Structure 1
């Protein structure tokens, strides 16, 4: 049997002792849906630094530098004591989570490793502790529910995401719980190989996007509130949602028009996120609830999630807009932060000199599959990736015709 030199044995023992001294716990460890809050607590951090940090990892076995986000322990009021806690809402990425604590000091900052705003990314040399795994309990139905008009006035499209490709449906009716109709949803997905460059196809930016389901509710009466659920008996149904159908006879049109919203995360990550988006959704939801049984729609023109190749930000975006997008059609048009990359086959005349890497290597793929707008506009990618869709379209609602297109 080979014997280790004494000094190596001592180093090993010291390392193991320092790891075991720091404790980390997370509660609860079983979640039901996106937005459920976990609390991560720690203690016995020796000589705490203001740069010590907590990393979020999904999948749990991701390399140390492949975190989806981080929080400095100093955000806890008691961090200087070596103990503290942080509470965070967690988004369902169809994969488990774990949390890790690292020690990091100013002398270890690497100026070559920085985020979108040139802030240094945290160092991973000194792992102090790792939590138990946090899981999302199955059976609670699909998430990321959002509506859209089709080309037919008496229809409403509903899209949602789940973790497998098994059959799902939408059921609907004029009374909650009385489902007069049911329709099987079409299912699509995209792969890492469909992305055109990093970070979207890299080991840091890519996360499995799940299966995107697309169902259509048909034969709707004009201006009537309908209730619906999506899912299946075997895998669970969503909570009941409702919407007011289109009414071409109405002389009133209510629309919420904006662009460049993005999403917000409760942690720092590789690129800047948009905290202002929280207020945007808050006030739109307030107004939708105030108008009652009048039909309305959203038109979000360009720069949708600002994911820019970090795929979990799409999950954050759809979780954030679901309270609105599950009640009224959420229409979109493509922007540079969904599409731009130097090798893209389609370029408007004005963009030849300025085309950059704004899309983060996504090249329009997530945008094209996660939404399905009226019409059939598309542009071939020239690769194995699906065609870029939702480029331009029109629809009638109330007394107006809306034309949506990129300029």
Structure 2
């Protein structure tokens, strides 16, 4: 369900950092486990399997969030309370200092609620033992340069509470130049602009054609530079900001229209691409 603020539809998911953290009835249950298929040094693109197990009372509104950076406080935001008050928000302190990057209900795994993936543990006091359930979710993760972690919540989006969380997971190369994009600067077909991002503020280089080399121009932007006003605060300056990294660009000139050329970009020309101009 979505609410409207400043003529913009905002879903329950986007309001997560304004939720008061509730106490889960089984929040202190140490038997609940959450683990990830890879523990560290993530590639630039990964499909991670998140497994939640030993859940005694599964619910269709149980969910898992991917949080970044991993040092985000997922319990309360004491330092952010003044900033909320500046926007006229005097409600209870928020759940998160940062929005979850991604989230998924455990019910996406149809076996989670059906106990088909179950764990049976016998107790010393009972021969019958205790049966709990298990579920798996797959998250598509790209290199966003900051460490991530996964948090298992109960209570849905309306009354979320923390049940378990993983360790921090890092990317193998957070500063790597990525996501190169070619665009035309005119209709002549003799010049093309190459743009990419990295975690490095120092100029990098483009090598193309028969060995032509160009340095990149480097730019970035901060949260304070986003457009807003005192009367109608912009969501762009709201909480949940993530550093965009550094934006590199260079214009390749002297190209032959309707011809194929290769280019490399980065500090050590780590990425190589062939393109038809």
Q: TM-score, normalised to structure 1's length?
A: 0.47
Q: Among 7, 11, 31, which residue is 2:42 paired with?
A: 31
Q: Which residue of 1 aligns with 2:54?
A: 44
The residue correspondences of 1:146-225 to structure 2 (distance < 5 A) are 146-151=181-186, 153-173=189-209, 180-197=211-228, 198-204=234-240, 206-225=241-260
Check 1:139–1:103 CA distance in 2 against 1; reply closer, same or farther (3 A cut).
closer
Runs of 4+ in structure 1 displaced over 6 angstroms?
none
Q: Which residue of 2 aligns with 1:73?
A: 106
Q: Which residue of 1 aligns with 2:10?
A: none
The residue correspondences of 1:255-294 to structure 2 (distance < 5 A) are none
Q: Deviations over 1:379-401 (max 9, x none)?
A: xxxxxxxxxxxxxxxxxxxxxxx
CA contact (8 A) 1:32 1:140 kept: no
Q: Which residue of 1 aligns with 2:14?
A: none
Q: CA RMSD of the aligned region, Å? A: 2.3
CA contact (8 A) 1:25 1:42 kept: yes
Q: CA deviation at 1:201?
A: 1.0
Structure 2 unpaired stretches of 5+: 1-24, 75-94, 116-132, 229-233
CA contact (8 A) 1:143 1:162 kept: yes
Q: CA deviation at 1:123?
A: 2.9
Check 1:202–1:48 CA distance in 2 against 1; reply closer, same or farther (3 A cut).
same
Name whichever structure is richer in strand by fraction.
2
The answer to whether the aligner puts 1:242 opposite 2:274 as a matched pair is yes
CA distance in 2, matches of 1:129, 1:227: 48
Q: Which residue of 2 aligns with 1:61?
A: 71
CA contact (8 A) 2:26 2:163 kept: no
CA contact (8 A) 2:65 2:152 kept: yes
Structure ranking higher on relative contact order (CA contacts 8 Å, 6+ apart)? 2
CA contact (8 A) 1:160 1:213 kept: yes
Q: Which residue of 2 aligns with 1:312?
A: none
Q: Which residue of 2 aligns with 1:144?
A: 179
CA contact (8 A) 1:53 1:102 kept: yes
Name whichever structure is richer in helix by fraction.
1
Q: CA deviation at 1:69?
A: 2.5
